[in-house]
Amino acid sequence: MSKVGLVLEGGAMRGLYTAGVLDTMLDNKIKVDAIIGVSAGALFGCNYISKQKGRVLRYNLRYLNDPRYISIKSFIKTGNIIGTDFAYYELPQKLDIFDNKKFMKSKTKFYLTVTNVETGEAEYIRITDCVKQIEYFRATSAMPYLSKIVEIDEKKYLDGAIADSIPVKKCLEMGYDKVIVILTRPITYRRSKPNKILAKVGYKKYPKFKNAFNTRYIRYNKTVEDIIKMEENKEIIVIRPSINYPVKRLEKDLTKIQGIYDLGVKDCKNKMKELKKYLEV
């Protein structure tokens, strides 16, 4: 019997595309055995297991322009562009409550990717309790230069996308033979070399992380090419933006947020017949 894995790319506010796809998959009762999310892919993907359709769009439309959530003010005050107390604690526990009980009861396994700052390598963390393990969610989405290093159990972490932006290979290695990949960039997108200044400054104490940051574009572009080949060979199925929709990582325009979500819904609906057929084989 096939084991179905779901891989979710990050991309900060571009992750609202993923939210649209996932909500449509919920409508169609698409079952998966495991999810591996990176950054926003993890933050938004956990709602697939708790079956909270619409939650991601709802709280982002409501709080995106609240300075406590994501703002330069937060960065200046705390060193984190994403407000830790508000985004990871107050919002999911009080303002728009995440159904952690339903998550914990689910048989679907959930992993998120973090980058170990000292080794420069990816680590894949099994999440069984989103409340108790919330710091891992903060770690996977901690953007370099815009976030402080997150320390958990004497290990130092930053954004999982630095080491492994799209962990499709890891998903296959874990034994999932049917893999759904949700990307947040169109098929033509390729990463460029990092900004020359950023490539030189910062993280001097962590040369392996620095190297991972500077070479990320090489790994990312190779992974995209590998994904295209696997897709052509019907080994995996991919849902990605059908157009180059203009949404920035830290987008504040709510019309664009709604628009990229709606594109995810549309693209997933257009792919649904193919997706169901792929999972049946």
What integer pLDDT is reported at residue 238 of this predicted model?
98
Q: What are phi and psi of 116, to 5 degrees?
A: -75, 115
How many residues comprise the chain? 281
Checking phi first, is residue 145 left (phi over 0); if not, alpha (psi -120 to 50) or beta? Answer: left
Token pair, residue 183, equals 């990307």
261, 267, 270, 273: CA torsion to nearest 10: -90
DSSP 91-108: IIIIIS---HHHHHH-SS
pTM above 0.85, yes or no: yes
Nearest to 34 by CA among 11, 2, 65, 71: 2
Nearest to 253 by CA among 49, 21, 117, 60: 60
Dump pLDDT digits (tens) for 106-160: 999 999 999 999 999 999 999 999 999 999 999 999 999 999 999 999 999 999 9
Cα–Cα dist 98/111, whole Å: 17
CA distances, 66 to each of 59, 63, 74, 274 (Å): 11, 5, 10, 40
Average pLDDT over residues 49-63: 98
Q: Name 86's Cβ contacts closer than 8 Å, sequence gap at least 6.
A: 63, 66, 68, 69
Dump pLDDT digits (tens) for 78-106: 999 999 999 999 999 999 999 999 999 99
What integer pLDDT is reported at residue 281 of this predicted model?
67
42's enclosing H/E stretch is helix 40-49
Report residue 178's pLDDT band, with 50, 70 and 90 as the boundaries: very high
Dump pLDDT digits (tens) for 241-261: 999 999 999 999 999 999 999
